[in-house]
Amino acid sequence: MTALLEITDLWAGYGRQQVLQGINLHVDEGEVAVILGANGAGKTTTMRAISGMIERRGSVLFQGTAIGAASPDHIVHAGIAQVPQGRGTFTDLTVEDNLRAGAFVRKNTNDSIDTDIRQWFEVFPRLAERRLQKAGSLSGGEQQMLAIARALMSKPTLLLCDEPSLGLAPIITQELFDVLGRLNAQDGLSILIVEQNANLALRIAHQVFVLETGTITASGTPSEIAQNDTVRKAYLGF
Amino acid sequence: MPITITESSAQHWALRFVGVATLAGVAVYFASGAAPSTLGKITEACTLAIAAIALNLLLGFNGQISLGHSTFAGLAAFTAGYSVNAWHWNPWLSLLISCAVCFAFGMLVGLPALRLKGSYLALVTLAVAFVWPTVARKFLNQTVKQSTLTGMKLKPPTWTGLANNRADRATFLFWLSIALLIVAYGIVRNIRKSRIGRSLVAVRDNETAAAVMGVNLPLTKTITFGISASLAGLAGWLTAAQLTTLDENSFSILTSIKYLLALILGGAATLAGPVVGAFVYYFVDNLLKTNAPKWNFLPGQLSNGPVASFLLGAVVVAFVFIAPTGFVGLIKSQTRKIAIVVPRPLRHKAVAEASVENSKSP
Amino acid sequence: MGDILQYFLNGLARGSIYSLVALGLVVIYQGTGHLNFAQGEMSLFATFGAWWFNDHGVPLWLSILLAASFAFVGGGAIEFGLIRPAAKKSPFAVVVVTIGLFQAFNSLSGLLFKGAATGLSFGTIFPNKPNDFFRLPGGAVWRYENIGVLVTVLIITALLFTLFRKTKVGLAMRMVANNADSAKLSGVPTNKVLMLSWGLATAIGTIGCALVAGINTNVSLGTMFGVFLLASAAAILGGLDSPLGAVVGGLSLGVIESFVTNYPKDWWASTYIGADTATAAAFVIILVVLLVRPSGLFGSARVERV
Amino acid sequence: MTMLEANDISVKFGGIVALDGLSFTIDDGQICGLIGPNGAGKTTMFNVISRIYEASSGQLTFRGHNLLKVPAHRIAKLGVARTFQNLALFPTMTLLENVMVGGHSTGTIGFARSIFRFGTARAEQTLRDEAGDLLVALDLDKLAFHPAAGLPFGTLKRLEIARALAAHPTFLLMDEPASGLTHSEVDELSETIKRIRDEFKLAVLLVEHHMAMVMNVSDKVIAMEFGRKIAEGSPSAVQNDQRVIDSYLGTSS
């Protein structure tokens, strides 16, 4: 299987402080990869480095093309969409405009964008009910669903999810991972997820990477990872 | 490897003493030898420093922006000038009254600040500064029936042994301005180093959290506005003591901008910043105003005003990038290489060595 | 009755200019959360440029268009070269930079254009001979010049609204305004959008300044002081993030100003404040509005989550 | 003994009902978990107690005081302190200063006395020593003179607790303290909460989604939905309540 995203020796940080100290990881085509790590380990930094939101050094290959120095809008054009931490809702825009905003990079006519918007309203009926409301009035769970739909409106090949379960009730979190699992299984979408809630994430994962203080300290399939005692104790809690 | 000096230790006190003694020596040197015009310039720089200190208390430490400080200074200057000339008040009494009037007016202007932040507040205070010259002109037309107001013509008190001639008056105003500068500096320093000072900074950093910690937001913000305004009034009163005539243009918006630029140049939210900034601003401005008309390489016949103010505007913009912490920040980063003052260690039975190590990192 | 209508019409003319400059402020504020204190002086500088072109034989309407185009480029360049790097430091740094620019541009105008301090004569593109007016019932006159200004402002406003609501560029601007990070992650080249905002705002401001100069028949260093202040007051009144608010705020401020100046001819304060009451009264009104609705009449109140 | 009694509290924002007649009590020294789906009104209840929001109706009594009549800045003095969900520290201040601001309500020195430095030295020293002790208690003393900005999330969460304790509270409100922490950090935090409860004799109201933690530390759990209470009782009772499972926990947790 070919690697869709291949990251080699990636360094990144804020100002002089280097948070990522040469990480290596890859996401294969059609697979779900999960990054586990404590706060401050550099999970969000990894996501922002891949999306080009911060200065970084090192090689990032996406479908064989180097995107390690590209700007965020080029990376979205290339086919990587990100659901940022805290959902990044356009709170003053309506739910429908949020979805339209997600389709910003598409050259398509309005018709095909409208068709896709209708499709997402079928997937998430609660969004359809609030179509013309400002997105800021949605509950946390609804906003998270909207954020995922918005990211997918750009028709990406790879979806990055930064702590999607943060601040969500357990039942909503389960629903969310069900959706992500379905997207992967049915539509073949490749996904890279950063999560604290390891138990749920591992259920849909094919590959797991453990990130500690800016470096990848362990990697493998979920079952391999679950056998690693220290990792299990720190992230899975049993 | 720099020398480490603990705060409030004997070495620290010695260092402070040397610093104060040097400054005092410089002041005595000027007072004894310099021409009255030079003393006059230092007096003006001190006046600007007091205004910048006033703005620093409000903007630097409390995070409330004001472009209306020229109005407070103007209000104090007019109160002083009018009460001394028309009602023959004692000038020293007029000092107290001017500051009190500014305190009250400052609290009043501070009221909208309870609801407004950032740019909104800046605009409201800008409006105050904009309306002031109009009000001043009306006042002069209606009440004084002239276009100008006479200054206070402050005489040196007899105990000073100074005569009422130009040179002695200059010496007197020089020492007076230094004394008032020390008072203003002392007030702001004492506030900053106390429970109240911490609460001011807390309000600046995070209002909601400060309120939850028990800080009374409306009271803290309006009183800070009031104190800052009365310190600006101090600067205004001092201006009225120096000038022979005051008019509506003495305290325009540009004066407020000058206070702000001086503060930024020196370094906001530091104690020394406004003083250093005011002196640098004043003397650079002076230098440019004297020399710019001689520059032949500039096109055409230039009035000296625009060159100086253009360059100063440009310098301050440049400073935001080169030295965002102002002159004081620049100086600190250099002296750090020689000596660092570290806080006193924590006192606790379980603390062996309180983290002197960590205070070295910024 | 005719008087009232007359004051209303005069107020509309002046107010439409406040609306225009306020729109420029809103375009920038929406995109960046910054208030450009130098907006008036940047536009003034460009308007002096228009005067220079006109003085060198270029027709006035073309001079104004040329100046507005230069202002567009210049505004974008200032965003790129000064504002963006300052914004990386702190929001306060941007305030300082715009105030520094205020001083720098005002002095630069005085430096480059001889006679700018006292005023240079400036023409108008609308007919403004003494008898160029409609007579309305009741005796009020509506000058063609004032109609022209109002119509110009309405056209520009309509164009801006179409841009915001109907185009992809407008969507991008609204996205950046609401959440710059998410806009980037949705593929919006935010840097270009911000430059565009600054360019647009400066160009709009320049047209506003040229119109003011036309009504005053001259342009001087002090031309934009009051206009900027009332325009920003209008923007605040309407809510800094609402273009509609800017227009309504500007027009109502112009009308209020006109009435306060003319109507209560002999009231008690008129000896003290007289015609200048207008500015003061305008600010009292704004203050009252802000105390009741801190985000303006049309501004969106953001609920802070703690 | 009952310390806090909420009786029929309602909060309305415009047309939205955020809290709908909520009643509960908390006893001295009790750790009470508050759970419920997003938008159930947990944070709203928090903000009512810490006087950031006004309640539309109802009574709230804390140690005999009518809390709804107390202005926001007097709350700390009564002994109510809180931590924030998304950290609300003073970034430019050092850790020591942050904790000293936390003790603001214990001081009495006002503007006049600070300008004239009238009797300020001793109060300052006492506050500083207390703040130092709290930094030690939460293992932050090594960073006492470091500004809060730029420190790791977990460290700042501990700083929030230290700052809250500086007010000498008898009642501590914690808003999602575990969010953003890993399992092992959450376990540590649970121990810290129990430790400070015993050491400082506190009652704690804990809003949290991390069920393992809520079940581990709470003496009692209240579950909410749509601004109303749907269950109350021991952790295990609430965990097995069918309504709580349906609306919040889900089946496979």
pLDDT in tens, A135-167: 888 877 788 889 999 999 999 999 999 988 877
- pLDDT band at residue C226 using 50, 70 and 90 as cut-offs: confident
Q: Do residues B130 and C226 lie in contact, with contact meaning Cβ atoms separated by under 8 Å?
A: yes
Candidates C186, C190, C300; nearest CB to A101: C186
Contact flag B198-D114 (C-beta cutoff 8 Å): no
Is C302 inside a domain boundary? Answer: no
Residue B355 has pLDDT above 50, yes or no: no
Question: Among all residues of chain C, which has the CA nearest to that of B326?
Answer: C93
Candidates D73, D97, D136; nearest CB to B216: D73
Instruction: Choose, out of C173, C178, C185, C188, the residue to mutate when testing the contact with A (most A CBs < 10 Å).
Output: C185
CATH code of C192's domain: 1.10.3470
Question: Among all residues of chain C, which has the CA nearest to that of B319?
Answer: C97
Question: Between chain B and chain A, are at least 3 CB pairs below 8 A?
Answer: no
Number of neighbouring beta carbons within 10 Å of residue C51? 25
Q: What is the total count of domains within chain B?
A: 1
Please identify among residues 18-77 of chain A the ones whose CB lies closer than 8 Å to any CB of chain C: 51, 53, 71-73, 76-77
- DSSP bridge partners of A161: A83, A193
- pLDDT band at residue C289 using 50, 70 and 90 as cut-offs: confident
B27-68, pLDDT tens digit by residue? 999 988 889 999 999 999 999 999 999 999 999 999 998 999
Cβ-based neighbours of D121, under 8 Å, separated by 6 or more: none
Query: Which class is A3-79+156-236 in CATH?
Result: alpha beta
**Least confident stretch, A21-25, A232-236, D76-80:** A232-236
Question: Among all residues of chain B, which has the CA nearest to that of D127?
Answer: B195
- pLDDT band at residue B318 using 50, 70 and 90 as cut-offs: confident
Contact flag A92-C300 (C-beta cutoff 8 Å): yes
CA D43 to CA D84: how far, in whole Å? Answer: 10
Task: Provide the b/e sequence for D105-142 (b: ≥16 CB within 10 Å).
Answer: bbbebebebbbebeebeebbeebbebbbbbbbbbebbb
CA C126 to mean position of chain CA atoms: 20
Q: Check residue C44 and give its pLDDT.
A: 95
Instruction: Choose, out of A171, A235, A238, the residue to mutate when testing the contact with D (most D CBs < 10 Å).
Output: A171
CA diameter of chain B: 74
Contact flag D73-B214 (C-beta cutoff 8 Å): yes
Closest CA to B322 of B279, B267, B275: B267
Name chain B contacts of D142, Cβ cutoff 8 Å.
355, 357-358
Do the bridges between strand A158-162 and strand A80-83 make them parallel or antiparallel, or are there none, so unpaired?
parallel
- pLDDT band at residue B361 using 50, 70 and 90 as cut-offs: very low
CATH code of B149's domain: 1.10.3470
Closest CA to A211 of A228, A227, A235, A191: A235
Q: Check residue C275 and give its pLDDT.
A: 52
Average of pLDDT values for D245-252? 75
Q: Check residue B353 and give its pLDDT.
A: 45
Percentage of chain B exceeding pLDDT 90: 49
Calculate the average pLDDT of chain A.
88
D205-228, pLDDT tens digit by residue? 999 888 889 999 999 999 998 889
Candidates D90, D100, D111; nearest CB to B209: D90
Is C40 inside a domain boundary? Answer: yes
What range does the domain containing B163 cover? 3-345
Q: Is A54 on the interface with D (CB under 8 A)?
A: no
Is C298 inside a domain boundary? Answer: no
Question: Among all residues of chain D, which has the CA nearest to that of B224?
Answer: D111
Residue A208 has pLDDT above 90, yes or no: yes
Average of pLDDT values for D114-126? 90
Q: Smallest CA–CA separation between C64 and chain A, in Å?
A: 35
Contact flag C171-A51 (C-beta cutoff 8 Å): no
For residue A64, the number of C-alpha atoms closer than 13 Å in the C-beta half-sphere is 1
C124-136, pLDDT tens digit by residue? 888 888 888 888 8
Contact flag A104-C172 (C-beta cutoff 8 Å): yes
Q: Do residues B302 and C111 lie in contact, with contact meaning Cβ atoms separated by under 8 Å?
A: yes
User: In a 10 Å sphere around its CB, with 0-12 CB exposed, 13-18 middle and 19+ buried, how is residue C134 labelled?
Assistant: exposed
Cβ-based neighbours of B231, under 8 Å, separated by 6 or more: B50, B51, B53, B54, B57, B184, B187, B188
* Alpha-carbon separation of residue A221 from A7, A161, A185, A194, A210 (angstroms): 18, 19, 17, 15, 11
Where are chain D's structural domains?
1-79+169-253, 94-164
Question: Among all residues of chain C, which has the CA nearest to that of D48?
Answer: C306
Q: Check residue C268 and give its pLDDT.
A: 52
Top pLDDT among C293 and D109 is at D109
Residue B170 has pLDDT above 70, yes or no: yes
Percentage of chain C exceeding pLDDT 90: 35
CA C289 to CA B122: how far, in whole Å? Answer: 16
Q: Smallest CA–CA separation between D113 and chain C, in Å?
A: 31
- pLDDT band at residue B223 using 50, 70 and 90 as cut-offs: very high
User: In a 10 Å sphere around its CB, with 0-12 CB exposed, 13-18 middle and 19+ buried, how is residue B205 labelled?
Assistant: buried
Number of H helices, E strands in chain A: 10, 10
- pLDDT band at residue D251 using 50, 70 and 90 as cut-offs: low
Cβ-based neighbours of D17, under 8 Å, separated by 6 or more: D10, D11, D227
Closest CA to A132 of A86, A98, A174: A98
Q: What is the total count of domains within chain C?
A: 1
Calculate the average pLDDT of chain D.
90
- pLDDT band at residue A5 using 50, 70 and 90 as cut-offs: very high
Name chain B contacts of D77, Cβ cutoff 8 Å.
214
Closest CA to C182 of A72, A134, A149, A96: A72
**Least confident stretch, A95-104, A153-162, B238-247:** B238-247
Residue A33 has pLDDT above 90, yes or no: yes
**Least confident stretch, A61-75, B78-92, B186-200, D33-47:** D33-47
Contact flag C181-A81 (C-beta cutoff 8 Å): no
- pLDDT band at residue B23 using 50, 70 and 90 as cut-offs: very high
Which CATH architecture describes the domain D1-79+169-253?
Answer: 3-Layer(aba) Sandwich (3.40)
Q: At what angle do helices C91-112 and B118-139 cross, to 10 degrees?
A: 40
Is B350 inside a domain boundary? Answer: no
What range does the domain containing C179 cover? 2-292
* Phi/psi at D217 (5° precision): -95, -20
Instruction: Choose, out of C89, C90, C300, C306, the residue to mutate when testing the contact with D (most D CBs < 10 Å).
Output: C306
Name chain D contacts of B350, Cβ cutoff 8 Å.
136
Question: Among all residues of chain B, which has the CA nearest to that of C104?
Answer: B310
Calculate the average pLDDT of chain B.
87
Candidates C103, C114, C294; nearest CB to B300: C114
- pLDDT band at residue C250 using 50, 70 and 90 as cut-offs: very high
Q: Which residue has the tokens 């022209």?
A: C148
Q: Check residue C31 and give its pLDDT.
A: 77
Question: Among all residues of chain B, which has the CA nearest to that of D108?
Answer: B195
Q: Do residues D195 and D204 lie in contact, with contact meaning Cβ atoms separated by under 8 Å?
A: no
Q: Do residues B238 and B98 lie in contact, with contact meaning Cβ atoms separated by under 8 Å?
A: no
For residue C209, the number of C-alpha atoms closer than 13 Å in the C-beta half-sphere is 34
Is B360 inside a domain boundary? Answer: no
